[in-house]
Amino acid sequence: MKNIVLVGFMGTGKTTIAKVLARGLGKKYVNTDDLIESREKKNINDIFKDDGETYFRKVEKEVIKEASRQADQVIDAGGGVVLDPENMENLRMTGTVICLWADPDTICERTKKYKHRPLLNVEDPKKRITELLDHRRPFYEKADFHVDTSTRDIGSIVEEIKRIVDRKGNS
Ligand code: S3P
């Protein structure tokens, strides 16, 4: 069975939805940030701080390539994977790519209590979120399917994704 790949901005609900989806469908849950952290033996904040974003993106690209070789997974992809067209090509080869969306206020609310995202550890996270979203919008738009998570409950989002995948015939 093909992979289901969730992309989308930070705080759009990828991790929550991917875990429920994987459990419900009996697929393996894979998180690209976890793969990067275990490979580098340090957390994302420290990788950004010590090695820089360019290095992080290089490792991210490698783990995406490897994860794309396996099947029957729900891949919870880091918010920036869409920026590299090769990542999208690799993910698409073995998976259906679904982008989760949320409005900037919702993203701000959902992310403000966490400190593990270096790009949002800034004085004015709302401004940063708006700028990054504006820049990345065309990249996220390249996904095969789109689901807005701003105002909906987890159950209905998961059901919608299952319907998308069923319609597409995910084998
Ligand atoms: C990033 C998103 C993060 C993580 C890193 C960079 C981004 O993942 O990969 O902090 O560039 O949007 P989540 O989207 O899972 O928070």
Nearest ligand 1 atom, CA 111 = 16
Nearest ligand 1 atom, CA 136 = 12
Decide: 79 in ligand 1 pocket, CB within 6 A. yes
Which residue owns the Cα nearest ligand 1 atom 1? Answer: 79
- If you average pLDDT over every residue of the chain, what do you get? 96
> Residues of 125-158 as b/e, b for ≥16 C-beta within 10 angstroms?
beebbeebbeebeebbeebebebbbeeeeeeebb
Give the CA distances from residue 4 to residues 65, 103, 107, 146, in Å, rounded to whole numbers and listed in that order. Answer: 15, 23, 22, 13
pLDDT digits (tens, 9 = 90+) for 58-116: 999 999 999 999 999 999 999 999 999 999 999 999 999 999 999 999 999 999 998 99
Expressed in angstroms and rounded, the spacing between residue 119 Cα and the centre of ligand 1 is 8
What's at 46, amino acid-wise? D
132: which strand partners? Answer: none
Which residues constitute the domain of residue 15?
Answer: 3-168
Mutate to test the pocket of ligand 1, among 100, 117, 132 (most ligand atoms within 8 A of CB): 117
Three-class secondary structure of residue 141 per DSSP: coil
Query: Into how many domains does the chain fold?
Result: 1
Q: What CATH number does the domain containing 41 carry? A: 3.40.50.300
